[in-house]
Structures are given as structure tokens and as C-alpha cells.
Structure 1
């Protein structure tokens, strides 16, 4: 079989296996560009079009290994080797270690995928894809049981953390929530009450409101009257005790 030529491209039939009868056409030619690219050296790079989406880098290396040692294979717009997830036909650059290998590749009349790659096609491919989406029931059951046990353990730890036992054996319920507080024991309650009283005294403002000023004035007047009355009574008592008689 002689390879066809279409617009500077050599059309080479590509067979998925040695016993395959229906080939897929690949379009190949020497890669020549003005701009130098170290990943695609001139004189050693083969430009390949119409590469099937399920052909990987390693598979394409083995396909062209019959022409000579392949240095690297890259797909356009993808620098990684993981191309199994790409969809649609791809463009590849096959770099040989020597130029004679490139020239031999351009004269190949057919290309065959080696057996070790085992690419699934047609009904076998669809069955494999479907089976891969079905979850293993035993594995799912095991994961669910592990999750339930872990959840029950965490709930028990939360319940124990929310309860405390005092010196007399009584269960003391503590504050719940994200920021649990102190247990409400009698000693703690007294300390909190005393602390709140001190804070309230510090915060109290004297003679700030009008009614406070009025109360302060009334208290001062009452105190003055009481002091005057006491002084008056004391003077009268002193007069009586002296028995003063000027005439």
C-alpha cells in the first residue's frame, strides 16, 4: 500500500491492532517554522494531525518507534503527559533523536498500535466506562459504618464535656454553645455577684442627673437643720447649768 499525499501531508493508515481491518488516517509531515522552539527542534520533529483522543503519549511513542528512537511526544496546547482526559482529535509533535528516523517515519506506509496498550473501542469501551461509574456496595457500606461510628463517638464526647460532677456528687450543668462558661456552683455564683457589684459601683455616676442634684441639696439642708437644732439645745443646757444671775 502506498501512502497518499494531501496538501504536503502524508496520509498514513493507523491500525489499532495487528488484526484490525478498518484503519484510521493520520496526516504527517516535517515540522518547519521560522521561530525556533527547543521542544520542537528543526530537522527532527514530525507534525501529526488527526490523532484519536484515546491515544496517549506513550502509545504514540511506540507507534513511531518502528522508524527510530523517539525522544519526546507532546500534544498541542497541553505540555503534560496526562492526555487521557482530553476529548476530540488531537495534534501531536513527535521528536526523534536523529534526523534519519524522521525521514523513515515520512516513508511509512502504515502504523500499528502495539498490543500492550489495549485501547478499548466501541461496545467494550462503553461497557468499561459504565462499570467504572458504578460504586462498589461493599466499600460504600464500610465507609458509611466508619462514618456513623465516628459520629457517635463525637456525640458522646460532647455530652461528657457538657456535664461536670461537684464534690458532693451532684451533676452540674454548664453553659452550652461555642464558648462554654464556668459551672454554676455556689462559690462561683458568689464571686460573679461580688464582681458585678464592684463593676456597677465603678460605673455609677454621682450628681450627673437633675434628680441627683436635688436630692443632694435636700440632704444638705436636713443635715444643717439637724446640726443647728443640736447646737441650740446644747446652748440652752449650758445656760441652765451655769445658773447665771446678773442682778
Structure 2
């Protein structure tokens, strides 16, 4: 009878296609079910950000919903000092577009598995995380670190969704103060632009040099109206009214015609009012 060959579990890390390393999670020490994380060194040349250094950032896939950023930071702290942890719905750049919003105005986060970026302070910590054997799972929920799941987690999230009135008032006041400041700056800039566009009595416009590198703004409808009004004012200043005899005669004729037209309109209005005042018993 041939001797049986026993397969001994290797303590080497499991590397799967794509360059990912498998890391095992276990919710509790006595849990039978296990969860797999997939790790890979973050190497994106197009992304030049100091928040994700290429030699110290670990890209993590399949992060479960019950693992928050704080839990992930504590889990990976056993490999070395963790500088920051970022969880996202899908991989992407760390540069967020648009102004920073308050927690009250941010959209609701999706509940589900996420991807993470774990930044260590040293490159050796990243290597230690990648070389961790998969037969030694990391325990998520311990006596020192209690992780809430299910209804307890939902109740906690619902309670945290309400902000105290004083905190809410402080956030609103801060937002409105910034809004008023931006509006004042825009109004001051518009007044300065209008002042620069004003011409003197002789029609000269003062031209000043703008800041270095400033680009010219495209003509808007308001700017076109201002330009048209300036041209009309210039034309009126240059035109001599009632300088010749025929100009004076034409002006008088137009004035008399306007008076006659207004007189006829007034007569019609008076006749209409008299007709409306008649007594009509039937």
C-alpha cells in the first residue's frame, strides 16, 4: 500500500492573477466563515498626488460593509504605522472636484463592498502586509474593538444622521458668511469693471493693465448693451441739435404733431368716460 501524501498548508502568501495578494478576514475568533481581501501595491503613474505615495500606498479590494475606515486602519496597524485610510465605492483619483461640502449636504453613501487605499508611513509596512500568510486571518471584532452590524449599526447610523440645532446653526452661519463674502467680492469686481468702462466728457476711456496671466472674458449680453449705450451717447454728443433753420422747423412740426395726437386721444378718453356715466335704468 502506497504511503499517503499529506498536504501541509504553506505559510506563504497566496498571489492570484493580476498581482493581487490574498488576505483573510474573520469577523470573530470563533467564526467559521471567512472573508477574503485582495491587496496590491498602488502604482498609477498618471496620478501625482502626495496623498497616495506610490511606494507606501496599498490598494485593497473587496472591503466588507462592516469595516469602516477606523476598523481598516486598526487591522493594518499590526503591519506598521498607518498614515491614512480612504474607502471609496470604486477606484478613482484622490482629487475631488468642486468645493468641499459639509456632512449635511453630502449625498448618502452607498452601502456595499468598497475599495480602499491604505497609506503606510514606511515602505516596509506595505511589504509586511503583502507577505502575511493567508492561513492567519485578521480578526475584525474583538473585546477591545467592538464592531456593530445589522440592526445595531443601522440604529447608530440613524441616530448620527441628526445634528444638534446649535451645530446645525453654526454650519449654516458659516456657509452664509462665505456666500455673502463671495457676493460682495463679485459686486466689487463688477463696480470696478463698470468704472473702467466709463468714459469722460470727451469720450475717452481709461484702459488699465490687468493682472499677469489674466485671460480676457468673452463678451456677454450685458457688455454688448453697455457698448451700444456708449455709442448712442457719443452720437448724441457729436450731433448738433437745432443748429440749422430747417432742423428747428422740423422739431417744431414734430412737437405740434405730437400735441395734436395727444389731444385726439384725450378727446376719445373723455367721450368714453361720459358714455359710461349715463344712467341706464333698464
TM-score, with structure 2 as normaliser:
0.41
Structure number with higher strand proportion: 1
